[in-house]
Amino acid sequence: MIEFKGVSKTYNGKVKALDNLNFSVGDGELVGFIGPNGSGKTTTIKLLCGVLKPDKGSVVVNGFDVNKEPLQAKASIGYIADNPDVFLRLKGVEFLNFIGDVYNTPADERKKTVSELAERFELTSALDSQILSYSHGMRQKLMVIAALMHKPKVWILDEPMTGLDPKSSFELKALMREHTKAGNSVFFSTHVLEVAEKLCDKVVIIKKGHKLYDGTLAELEKRNKDKNLEDIFLELTNKK
Amino acid sequence: MNVFLQLVKITGSSVEPSVDEKKRSKAFGVVMGILIMLLIFIPVAFFVGFMVYALTNGLVNLGGEDSVSAGLSLMLHIVALFSVVFGFSVVMSVFYFSSDLNYLLPLPISPMKIIGAKLASTMLSENVMECILVFSALVGFMIGYGFDPPAGGGINAVSFIAAVFGVVTFPVVPISYCAVICLIVMYFSKFLKNKDRVSKLTAFSTIAILIVLVVCLNLSNGFDTNVFVNQLMNNELRIVNVLDKIFFNVPLLSHAMAGSIVSLLLYIVVNAASVGIVLLLASKLYFPAVIALGGGEGAASTKEESGEKLDRQLKQSSPLMTYFKKELKILFRTPAYMSNCIGINLIWPIFIYLFFILQKQSNFLGDTIDKLQTADEETVLYATLLVFGSSVILTALNCLASSAVTREGRHFEVMKYMPVDIMTQLNSKALVSIVISGIGLVIYIVTAFTIIHIDFRLTIYCVLLSVLAVIYSTYLGIYIDTINPKLIWEDEVNALRGNYHVFYNMAMELILTAVVCALSIGLYKLGFLPVFFIQTVIMLIAAYLSFQFYLMCKTKGVKNIENIEM
């Protein structure tokens, strides 16, 4: 589970990216994180993963404060960044080994996960090639496999659907569902409202670092009768 | 802004630090800039200026008015040669491998304009060190020649105008050579269709050119100053005669410096013509080669892999070892790192060979070896200091340590979100530098000491000292890179070339080496202490520095990394 309590973040002492943001993601919950460009989604995700430090507030992942017990917190996260262009000179299988070692995943467990997921994403034949030769979608699929190898309690994804073909996109959504069904938490940012609509138990909508909405989609639609999610989103984010 | 100027700005931007980096490093940059100036640029400039002054003065005293600028020509040829050798990889990288091409090629801009801008930005990036060298050579010549030499002539107003032109435009011809060769080679090597293969071929060709140059120096008779000046005066130095034909701008500039206005005008025409030829060739050859390289990364294999093979490949290692292996694989597989960080360790025997042929006449090396074999105290001390100094400097030169964090580039954040403490990650980077620099140095030391039959105990001592020196140089380099790593770069060549930490590291290493040398020689000469005792002190200093810089990385270095936000 994730607890994001009263977090503020300013860049260079000038640009306020987040202002007293609060939300939580419970065990078994799949939460979509929605907001316009520059609203603070990636900053929030980087704070969750320990890449950035908050100016104020606390970020707790799976019971560990990300800033006080960073290694334990990070070990319980599976993170997929918005850019999958990482260590391009490594072969796919070498990258998976690297991630497996870093997260201390036993060899048997990684073999099982890798062969199963590589099969699902049709990536097995490419694993022996350098990541440099992969398409964007293939790199993204490799990141998904890497993030799930250590069976993280919390899975965080930044714009995960970008560049995926329809089948892979379907598989990823199915995996996210399976992950939450097993009692884990999934938190992902997206611009694709349909994905959030079909997939999420809950959404958090932010704009300019402020939370606009945090709750279930059913509740949101109940409050805005006869409007689809797109209209609601535009109405919310266009308000001053 | 004019399209051409915009292009120069864009193509040159990747070697400039970003605004954030500038802010982070202001005070640090000023201090290190002054140190670099004092310890590297000024001594080099002084040496070059003095050499040209001494040669010119010798020629003036011998009364050779016609060949008075021969010393200047020789020095300028050396500068031009180095520009060509080191310019190749820069031109290749800027012209064919920079990521800005993805954005520039679809735009309606002619190849001539793109190459013109890239040529200008390459020359600007090459110009700093070259300006200093050419400037000091020209000043040395002016002082050596004087306004009113006994044999007549002397510098005049033309010399001053030529000096200004020379300092500003000297890289034009050498870089144009690189550009012309690259344009032709790349046009005819379209079939390679792979950027990595082309880069590796360039790196090997550069080393091959260097070897051929050293062998062609044909200095088998050794170096004798008097003979050398006489050969210069009588135009008998074959290498200079050959170079005069290759770098035809050099004799023109030299004669212009001696006051010839015709040479000055010809020098300007030659520079303009060089650029013209490059642009003309570019208009015909550039786009076909760039487009052929467009799909340079190849395609992922579609061959079905067996489950057993995958199982065999998925093995478990410790985080330190896995980071170490990852670093090694990236270094060996990235052409820019392979040539600048790994390959550079292989070129030192070429320079040792050059030194060997240069000292043949005086037999300095033979005498030194004799003294070492008889364990002459003073020679043993100097050999110890040479091992210490060269281990430190060669480790700094391969920039494995001083670019350790910079190489992470835009995926620096991976260092932060992995559940592995920062010091383990820095240690893995240190281990890479220690292993690569250390193995090379140990092989050189053991081979050299075995060939010349040096005492086994001295060999072991020097190996241990070298390893400690490598460790301290490595941790110092890494610490410096944690202060302000250059994380925004367009391609790997720029990660290394646009990274001033290599210079900062070198400046710090030079200070510490100078202190250790001064202390050791002082203890020996003034303290009358036995060499064994001084060797022990040097070893202890190396061990202390290794430990101190390790601690600095562990405390301040880790803090620096934690505080970096992208």
What is the rounded CA–CA span in Å between residue A100 and residue A106?
Answer: 8
Give the domain CATH number at A165. Answer: 3.40.50.300
Q: Pick the closest to residue B356 from B365, B348, B369, B347 (CA basis).
A: B365
Do B416 and A49 make contact, defined as CB atoms within 8 angstroms?
yes
Half-sphere exposure at residue A190, Cβ-oriented, CA atoms within 13 angstroms: 25
* ipTM entry: 0.91
What does each of the 566 residues of chain B score in pLDDT, given as a tens digit?
A: 576 777 776 666 544 444 445 555 566 667 777 777 777 778 888 888 888 888 888 877 776 666 777 888 888 888 888 888 777 777 887 888 777 777 777 788 888 888 888 888 888 776 677 888 888 888 888 888 887 766 666 778 888 899 888 888 888 998 899 889 888 888 877 666 666 666 667 667 767 776 776 666 655 555 566 666 666 666 666 677 778 888 888 889 988 888 888 999 999 999 999 999 999 988 888 888 877 766 555 566 666 666 777 778 888 889 999 999 999 999 998 888 888 888 888 877 777 777 776 666 666 777 777 877 777 888 889 999 999 999 999 999 899 999 999 999 988 999 999 999 999 999 999 999 999 999 989 888 888 888 888 888 889 999 999 999 999 999 999 999 999 888 888 778 778 876 778 888 888 888 899 999 999 999 888 878 888 899 999 999 999 999 999 999 999 999 999 999 87
CA dihedral B344, B348, B350, B354 (to 10 degrees): 140
Do A90 and B326 make contact, defined as CB atoms within 8 angstroms?
yes
The residues facing A91 across adjacent strands are A130
Residues of B in contact with A86 (CB under 8 A): 411, 414
Q: Convert the pLDDT of each residue in A188-203 to its tens digit.
A: 998 888 888 889 999 9
Helix (H) or strand (E) holding A190: strand A185-190
Residues of B in contact with A84 (CB under 8 A): none
Query: Which residue in chain B is spatially nearest to A50 when comparing CA positions?
Result: B417
The closest CB to that of B305, out of A86, A96, A128, belongs to: A128
Do B310 and A110 make contact, defined as CB atoms within 8 angstroms?
no
The closest CB to that of A100, out of B316, B333, B421, belongs to: B316
The answer, for B312 touching chain A at a CB cutoff of 8 Å, is no
Q: How many domains does chain A have?
A: 1
Q: Pick the closest to residue A65 from A133, A127, A2, A128 (CA basis).
A: A2
**Using CB atoms and an 8 Å cut-off, which of residues 243-302 of chain B contact chain A?**
297-302
What percent of chain A is helix, strand and coil (3-state, nearest 5)? 40, 25, 35
pLDDT of B407 reads 93
pLDDT of A73 reads 95
Buried b (16+ CB within 10 A) or exposed e, B237-256: bebbeebbeebebbbbbbbb
Nearest-CA distance A132 → chain B (Å)? 6
What is the rounded CA–CA span in Å between residue B92 and residue B114?
Answer: 14
| Domain of residue A79, residue span | 2-238
Q: Pick the closest to residue A88 from A121, A131, A138 (CA basis).
A: A131
Do B419 and A103 make contact, defined as CB atoms within 8 angstroms?
yes
Residues of A in contact with B411 (CB under 8 A): 83, 85-87
Do B322 and A101 make contact, defined as CB atoms within 8 angstroms?
yes
Q: Convert the pLDDT of each residue in A116-161 to its tens digit.
A: 999 999 999 899 999 998 998 999 999 999 999 999 999 999 999 8
Q: What is the pTM of this model?
A: 0.81
The answer, for B108 touching chain A at a CB cutoff of 8 Å, is no
pLDDT of B552 reads 96
Structure tokens at B519: 């202390």
DSSP secondary structure string for all residues of B464-525: HHHHHHHHHHHHHHHHHHHHS-----SSHHHHHHT-THHHHHHHHHHHHHHHHHHHHHHHHH
What is the rounded CA–CA span in Å between residue B119 and residue B117?
Answer: 5
pLDDT of B79 reads 87
Question: How many angstroms separate the most distant Cα atoms in chain B?
Answer: 86
The closest CB to that of B419, out of A83, A102, A107, belongs to: A102
Contacts of residues A138-144 at CB distance under 8 Å and 24 or more positions apart, as own/partner, are A138/B300, A139/A84, A139/A85, A139/A163, A140/A80, A140/A84, A140/A164, A140/A168, A141/A168, A142/A84, A142/A92, A142/A95, A142/A96, A143/A80, A143/A81, A143/A84, A143/A86, A144/A80, A144/A117, A144/A172, A144/A175
